[in-house]
Structures are given as C-alpha cells and as structure tokens.
Amino acid sequence: MTRREEIAANLAAVRARIERACAAAGRDPDEVTLVVVTKFFPASDVRLLADLGVRHVGENRHQEAVLKAAECHDLELTWHFVGGLQTNKAGPVTGYAHVVESVDRVKLATALDRGAQAHERELDVLVQVSLDPPDRTAGRSGVDPAGLAELAAHVEGLASLRLRGLMAVAPRGADPVQAFAELASIRAEFLRAHPGAEWLSAGMSGDLEAGVAAGATHVRVGSAVLGQRPEIK
Ligand SMILES: *Cc1c(COP(=O)(O)O)cnc(C)c1O
C-alpha cells in the first residue's frame, strides 16, 4: 500500500466515524470540521492530505509548524495552532496560523493580538479550557473554568483577535463522555456572554464521538489518519 492509499483509507474511516457520530447525535456532518493534526509528520503528508480534500491542518509546536506551513504555502490550507504556546513565540505564530486554539492566558492573547497587528491581519482564536480536576497542577493546559469569563472578555477587547469559541482536551484517564458533558455546560454559560463564539474544538482520535455528541464543531485528529507517532520527541 502506498502512503497515499494508507492515508486515504484512514481518512475515509475517520470521516465515516464523524458521520456516524453526527447521525447518533442528530447533527448535520457539515457542522463538524475535521482538523488533521500533522505534528511529527512530514510536509509530503500534508500535501497528500490536501490532495485528498483536507482543508484544515493542526500543529502543536512552532519550530516544526513554521517550516511545514512555508513548505505547503501553495496549498492554501487553514492552519490551526493547537499546542501550548510561549508568549515569545506568539508573534511568529501569527505569521502563518489562521486559528490559534490554545489561548489560555491574558498575556498570550495580548501577544497574539500584537503579532496579528504587525502582520496586518486578524486571527481567529479559541480559548482553551482545562477540564482537569482543580487539584491537579502538573501538566495542566487551558484556563481554569473559573477564569474563563475574564480571559474571554479580554480577548474580545483585542482589535485583531476574533473570539470564535472554546477548545478542550479530555484529561488523560478520564471518561471523555463525562469530561465533554462538563465542557458543554461550561460552553452554554460562555455562549450567553459571547453568543457569536460558537466554535467548539473537542475530540481527537480516541474520543471524537464524545466530542461530536457534546456539540463539537471541530475535531482534531492525528494518529487515526496519519498513524502512530513516537510518544516523545
Ligand atoms: C496531538 C494532538 C491532537 C491529535 O491527537 P490524536 O490522538 O493523535 O488524534 C489533538 N489535539 C491536540 C491539542 C494535540 O496536541
């Protein structure tokens, strides 16, 4: 099997999973955007994905993403930055990312706004919400739900950022159905203050069905499309 055939088969399987999950939830599959997370995989795979109809790709490390986005510039893809982001990398990320899904603090939002202004463009952003138990401090990513309203209000006040919605990752070892149900209730409250910010990025290779059931408009799928990546790089 060629790499193209392998990716095409995986992609068909993932699209079928999304369709089934939408059918089960009584949702239209057109409401769910597949973002293929291409981290650790080469630009040649991104090219194959584009040829197979993928329009959205995601990356989680700036060093890797900046090179791949440049190599694939001609494909006119929408690039999502989905990883933890240091404030000093925010400016460079606005050079190629169309969506930053991992805004988790005021300082980062302000730096992204400044970067977008310098590039004379607007940037779509999602605020990442932590679903980790409050007593877990190690490895947390995302703003604590208690701090969401303040961060979202800050983002909304920034001229070059467009607040589009929320992103979350189900905690390791947690039941994703339960975690995303909690996310859906956080989102319901968030939407009262930000009715236009309807995007919800939730669900990965292992739990995209739970994401779709909870109202996800974006699922971020890596290994189910591209294969296993090394755990640590
Ligand atoms: C890597 C990554 C994904 C994709 O994970 P898979 O389990 O390979 O589908 C999704 N979201 C984020 C934030 C990631 O870093």
What distance in Å separates the CA atoms of residue 79 and residue 206, rounded to the nearest whole number?
22
Q: Report how far ligand 1's centroid is from the alpha carbon of 5 (Å).
A: 22
Question: 98-150 pLDDT, tens per residue?
Answer: 999 999 999 999 999 999 999 999 999 999 999 998 777 666 789 999 999 99
Average pLDDT over residues 216-222: 98
Give how far Cα 230 sits from Cα of 219, 223, 227, Å. Answer: 21, 10, 10
Does the C-beta of 211 come closer than 6 Å to ligand 1? no
- Tell me the helix, strand and coil percentages in the chain, rounded to 5: 45, 15, 35
- At 179, is the pLDDT very low, low, confident or very high (cuts 50, 70, 90)? very high
Does the C-beta of 48 come closer than 6 Å to ligand 1? no
Q: Is 230 exposed, middle or buried (0-12, 13-18, 19+ CB in 10 A)?
A: exposed
pTM of the predicted structure, to 2 decimals = 0.97
* CB-based contacts of 209, cutoff 8 Å, min separation 6: 17, 20, 21, 24, 203
The residue whose C-alpha atom lies closest to atom 7 belonging to ligand 1 is 205
Please give the pLDDT value at position 230. 73
Does the C-beta of 220 come closer than 6 Å to ligand 1? yes
Single-letter amino acid, residue 155:
V
For 94, other C-beta atoms within 10 Å of its C-beta total: 25
Q: Report how far ligand 1's centroid is from the alpha carbon of 114 (Å).
A: 27
Please give the pLDDT value at position 101. 98
What distance in Å separates the CA atoms of residue 49 and residue 189, rounded to the nearest whole number?
36
Average pLDDT score, the chain: 96
Q: Report how far ligand 1's centroid is from the alpha carbon of 36 (Å).
A: 9
pLDDT of 233 over the 70 cut? no
Terminal C-alpha separation, the chain = 27
Average pLDDT over residues 29-53: 98
Q: Report how far ligand 1's centroid is from the alpha carbon of 79 (Å).
A: 14
Which stretch of DSSP H or E encloses residue 52?
none
The residue whose C-alpha atom lies closest to atom 5 belonging to ligand 1 is 222
| Overall residue count recorded for the chain in this entry | 233
* CB-based contacts of 136, cutoff 8 Å, min separation 6: 171
Does the C-beta of 37 come closer than 6 Å to ligand 1? yes
Does the C-beta of 208 come closer than 6 Å to ligand 1? no
Question: 181-217 pLDDT, tens per residue?
Answer: 999 999 999 999 999 999 999 999 999 999 999 999 9
